[in-house]
Amino acid sequence: MRFLIGVVIGFAAGLAGAILFAPETRRSNWPEGHPARSLNGDQSGGIRGALRTLQDHVNEAWEEARVAAEESEKQMASRYQDARASAAADAERDTQAIYADGGGEKKAAKRTAKKAREATKTGLAGKK
C-alpha cells in the first residue's frame, strides 16, 4: 500500500513539474502585449496562467508575512529590553535598600557591641 501511494505521489509530482516547467514551444514575432500575440496562442492562459497567478499571490502573501514577522520581532525585542531594564532597575533599588537597611543595622550592632565592651570593661575594672 505504501508503495502504491509513493508511486501515485511520484507521478503527481512529475506531472506537476512537467506542466510548470515545460518550455514554451511556440514563439511569435509579435512583441509582448500586442493583441495579435493572443491570437497565436502564445499568451499564458489556462493552467499556466492560473498557476502563475497563484504563485504571485503566494509570493505576495509570503512577503507580507515576512514583513509582519520582522515588525513583530522588533516589538518583542523592544518589550524584552524594556522588561530587562525594568528588572535591572528593580534589582538595583532592592540592593540599595538592603545595603541601606544593612548599614543601619551594622552601625547599631557596632554601637551595641561597643557599649557592651565598655560595660564589660567597667564591670571588670570595678571588680578589681
- Digit-by-digit pLDDT tens for the chain (128 residues) are 889 999 999 999 998 888 887 766 556 666 666 666 655 554 455 677 778 888 899 999 999 999 999 999 999 999 999 999 988 888 888 888 777 766 556 666 667 777 777 776 676 555 54
- Give the per-residue pLDDT at 20: 80
Please report which helix (H) or strand (E) contains residue 44, including its range. none
Cα–Cα dist 34/83, whole Å: 61
Has residue 100 been placed in a domain? yes
Has residue 76 been placed in a domain? yes
Q: How many structural domains is the chain composed of?
A: 1
Has residue 112 been placed in a domain? yes
- Give the per-residue pLDDT at 99: 74
Give the global pTM.
0.39
Cα–Cα dist 62/70, whole Å: 12
Has residue 21 been placed in a domain? no
Cell numbers given for 101: 537597611
Has residue 108 been placed in a domain? yes
Has residue 95 been placed in a domain? yes
Is the CA virtual torsion 105, 109, 112, 115 positive or negative? Answer: negative
Has residue 16 been placed in a domain? no
| Residue ranges making up the domain that contains 67 | 44-119
